[in-house]
A = this chain, B = another copy of it.
Amino acid sequence: MFKHLFGTSLPIIQAPLAGIQGSTMALAVNAVGGLGSLPAAMLSLEDLQRELTILQAQGQPYNVNFFSHTPPTPDAQREADWRAALAPYYAELGLELDAIPVGPARTPFSAAAAALLAQVRPPVVSFHFGLPAPELLAQVRATGAKILSTATTVEEARWLAAQGVDAIIAQGIEAGGHRGTFLSHDLSSQLSTLALVPQIIDAVNIPVIATGGIADARGVAAVLALGAVAAQVGTSYMLCTEAKTSPLHRAALISEAANFTAVTNLFTGRPARGIVNRIMRELGPMQAGIPPFPMAAAAMAPLRTRAEERGFTDFSPLWAGQNATGCRNVSAGELTLGLVG
């Protein structure tokens, strides 16, 4: 069914890893019959166009992924509170709070991106954090692309199915990086992949792809047995030769520290799973009242940069799912084949 949907020979989607990989990894996955993904959230329109051109030239199915959050309204009080909470760390690292530059951009899907897609016509487009506004979504649909989005609850899956997506990515609580949550941020609604996937399959009439906690061929076999048409795998790709994962992040992924992860909103303002580090321990992983996504990232960025220069990950978002044991320092093509071998 997955092959029919996307034209790939393997039931594997390489999860889009924004900031970690570009077309090079996707090409490697596509080449062996998986569905490689290009994360667009942190790319300029020019970079996106260049990357899409490369992927189109390969002539294989691929996925381009966008964030579809509502752009935040700046909140001066939240920003001030957040800076106050981080002030002791700024002092410790000899940084100036009033010199915070604009944070790393995480741009939601836009009219300009939709126009680009109309031109490029990518085979598969996936969204995280719900879907873009109806008129933008209609433009994507008009390109002929298959459309995917992420659900973290049965309610979100029903909502997405009602908007006419072609398949749903059911994201379990064990997944690394940002949770696709968009209807409720109540963590008590966030189920594991094993609990979530069959409930979503029963609730909708479209194919369901499983993601979260799938590290190797056993995990893939398990979610297929559960009824998913494919597995989306992220963390396992983070040590691949095509990944731009930082040396410090790579070291964390293969250390004992990777056994301890938590869902945190400290790094961007939205819940995302990463390896527990100093700032998560000291402030607690979830903070109410921090600047809205992605604005919380701005004040954290200088701390991260300075600490990483000194070899510390105290302020780094060490994105990882609950099972990093599938990480291998091989090409993404080889890793993909191992997921079905």
Contacts and interface: CB of A to CB of B under 8 A. Distances in A.
Contacts of A214: 194
Contact of A189 (B215, B224, B225, B260): B260
Interface string A70-109: 0000000000000000000000000000000000000000
Contact residues on A (Cβ < 8 Å of other chain), bracket: 35 or more
Contacts of A196: 322
A216 B225 CA distance: 12
B219 A198 contact: yes
Interface in A241-276: 259-262, 276
B221 A225 contact: yes
A212 interface: yes
Contact of A174 (B186, B189, B195): B195
B194 A222 contact: yes
A188 interface: yes
A143 interface: no
A302 to B, nearest CB: 26
A22 B199 CA distance: 30
Contact of A321 (B195, B198, B276): B195
26 contacts: A172-B192, A174-B194, A186-B260, A188-B261, A188-B262, A188-B285, A191-B322, A192-B192, A192-B193, A192-B194, A192-B322, A194-B212, A194-B222, A194-B323, A195-B213, A195-B321, A195-B323, A198-B218, A199-B323, A199-B325, A202-B325, A218-B226, A221-B226, A222-B225, A222-B226, A225-B225
Interface of A: 153-154, 172-174, 186-189, 191-196, 198-199, 202, 212-216, 218-219, 221-227, 259-262, 276, 285, 321-323, 325
The 9 A-B pairs with the shortest beta carbon distances in the complex, nearest first, are A192-B192, A195-B322, A195-B323, A195-B213, A194-B213, A221-B225, A222-B222, A225-B225, A174-B192
